[in-house]
Amino acid sequence: MILLPLTLVVIELLIRSEGARHDGPRIHCRSSYADMLHDKDRNVKYYQGIRAAVSRVKNRGQKAVVLDIGTGTGLLSMMAVTAGADFCYAIEVFKPMADAAVKIVKKNGFSDKIKVINKHSTEVTVGPDGDIPCRANILVTELFDTELIGEGALPSYEHAHRHLVQENCEAVPHRATVYAQLVESRRMWSWNKLFPVRVQTSLGEQIIIPPSELERCPGAPSVYDIQLNQVSPTDFTVLSEVLPMFSVDFSKQVSSSAACYSRQFEPLASGQAQVVLSWWDIEMDPEGKIKCTMAPFWAHSDPKELQWRDHWMQCVYFLPQEEPVVRGTAHCLVAHHDDYCVWYSLQKTSPEENGRVHQMRPVCDCQAHLLWNRPRFGEINDQDRTDRYAQALRTVLTPDTVCLCVSDGSLLSVLAHHLGAQQVFTVESSAASHKLMKKIFKANHLEDRINIIEKRPELLTAADFEGKKVSLLLGEPFFTTSLLPWHNLYFWYVRTAVDQHLGPGAVVMPQAASLHAVVVEFRDLWRIRSPCGDCEGFDVHIMDDMIKCALDFRESKEAEPHPLWEYPCRSLSEPQRLLTFDFRQPVPQKPLHAEGSMELRRPGRSHGTVLWMEYHLTPDSTVSTGLVEPAEDKGDCCWNPHCKQAVYFLSPTLDPRVPLGSPQAVSYAVEFHPNTGDITMEFKLTDATD
């Protein structure tokens, strides 16, 4: 029996355990702390709000006692003390971060005015023998995520008002407001529903239809947070004005109980209501003069002042079902929330009028939203991509083809059947994918035509194929546990494991894959890994040093996944093929190694190297998971929007204060390790080309 490599087989377990391990430095590196510290708009507005709050308390003749929940680096606490606060209690539950905050506070000379408490705020005690001697009269927090409440802001505020702060305390921020805009968008709707898939066959057009369960399913309960500014306005039709849905006053008692808020509107245009775009703003003062907004450019009061940030983006919500709306006819958009999540529904009358509101969060009951993430839905719904696979299949299929399809929840098996394969088997090793594919086959009357095998590939036997030999091994390849582009090389190991079941002259499609790279200059993404140094006059070098130390330990030689269609960049080198993997042969015993250099042909700051895979279906057909158009001298790179690419940051270029000289090339050394399925790599700026 061939054992598949640990890296690829148990990667899902590694993902699950990553959150449980208290690997502080690595979490620092992968967190948004650097991005937050670079968020000038956020920092300035917080500082202004804190100064104003301390002044209001002082003007009442009171001592200013601050409670800072989720202090992180201690930045907001140091702002408070500098603004005149008498004392600040800084709460941080994450111990490595709390330890960093203690050091940063000491470095800046505030240890006598700031006490860092390493607890969850709900565990903090008040009293002579407690963590804080008395209730605070200023509450400062930064507990927000893209959805506003997804990090538990409501329960934390609720507890703080009941137990930790005075009644009618000052709060920074003072208020938050959530906004929504209803749109029709085929592109965004394709991230949530399975569209009919068209296949041209010798018998005419065949249509793969989605099961009724998928049609009725309300979808995944989680928000889809993206850089909405990178979605073209041509990709959606606005159906409503921007609607203020609800506000939360943080200076008063907050409730985490489930609630709903409706806003009546008249559609600006007739169409299919499908998607709600949402964002929020926070007002740092009671008067609302100090405001920090997440609005996308078309809803921003001054698009020229738009602040790029990655720790707060915008939200895409999908209505449970698309619904027709007619211009000028009144409708109600309803925002629902519980203690951690927000979701939306559309009604023809307000909840007060019809007396019923669906309070329950939407939950997927069709399996598809559990198996496929939003980009995967988009990929399956990409008709051009389907046509490319169909065209390649036509060149290899014969009337006596016995096909084995290996990819998680893939429609390739249906394509193979419609295009003339004699018999089709598909391996679905997870219960979720097995259940979903059975539904799809049944909806298309193929339950007796395609054989589903619920086994791990290395456990397959001749009996599973009814004694027949496989003449076509087929994969996209796609596996739900893949994080980095090359993790789908799992297909190669499957090909090796089923080698004994392949007949003479069997075709493998794709026949090969290749790893490619290009050096780029990012417009903004570099900020998430850039050292901060000083932030609003405070020394946070300790945080930079911690991240650098952790990166030097291991991650400086690792790449990380990012959906680069959301992060504009331009190429500084020509794309280069680094490694090739021949799927027509089993996985080799020895590593595959390549080294060389990529010449920098365009001026710019080389922030990183982007890596992706290309799959060569046939000698004449290739599918790219990275660049989908040739890199141009001017203009941004065009990336596959359905896949994440891998980014290897070049650390010397990430600090804009450091002059670089004039590097001529980026050298590389990459190696594929057959025993683990992993690829190790190193890229360096050099002054000469090979």
CB 53, CB 33: distance < 8 Å: no
> C-alpha distances in angstroms, 290 versus 25, 280, 584?
34, 14, 63
**Ramachandran region, residue 409 (left: φ > 0; alpha: ψ -120 to 50; beta: rest):** left
Short-list 459, 462, 442, 460, CA closest to 450? 442
CB 205, CB 418: distance < 8 Å: no
Token pair of 262, please?
């409706």
Answer yes or no: 142 catalytic.
Answer: yes
CB 612, CB 653: distance < 8 Å: no
For the chain, the residue count is: 690
DSSP code string of 127-190: STTSSBSS-EEEEEE----TTSSTTSHHHHHHHHHHHTEEEEEEEES-EEEEEEEEEE-HHHHT
Token pair of 52, please?
């104003």
Answer yes or no: 215 catalytic.
Answer: no
Beta strands 65-69; 87-91: pairing state: parallel
d(CA 640, CA 634): 19
Q: Active site residue: 18, 92, 123, 142, which one?
A: 142
DSSP β-bridge partners for residue 470: 502
Q: Active site residue: 12, 151, 555, 671, which one?
A: 151
- DSSP 8-state assignment for residue 622: E
**Ramachandran region, residue 635 (left: φ > 0; alpha: ψ -120 to 50; beta: rest):** left
DSSP β-bridge partners for residue 622: 616
b/e map of 397-413 (b: 16 or more CB within 10 Å)? Answer: beeebbbbbbbbbbbbb
The crossing angle, in degrees rounded to 10, of helices 95-107 and 75-82 is 30
Token pair of 79, please?
């702002």
Determine how many CB atoms are found less than 10 A away from the CB of residue 229.
17
Q: Where in the sequence numbering do the catalytic residues fall?
A: 142, 151
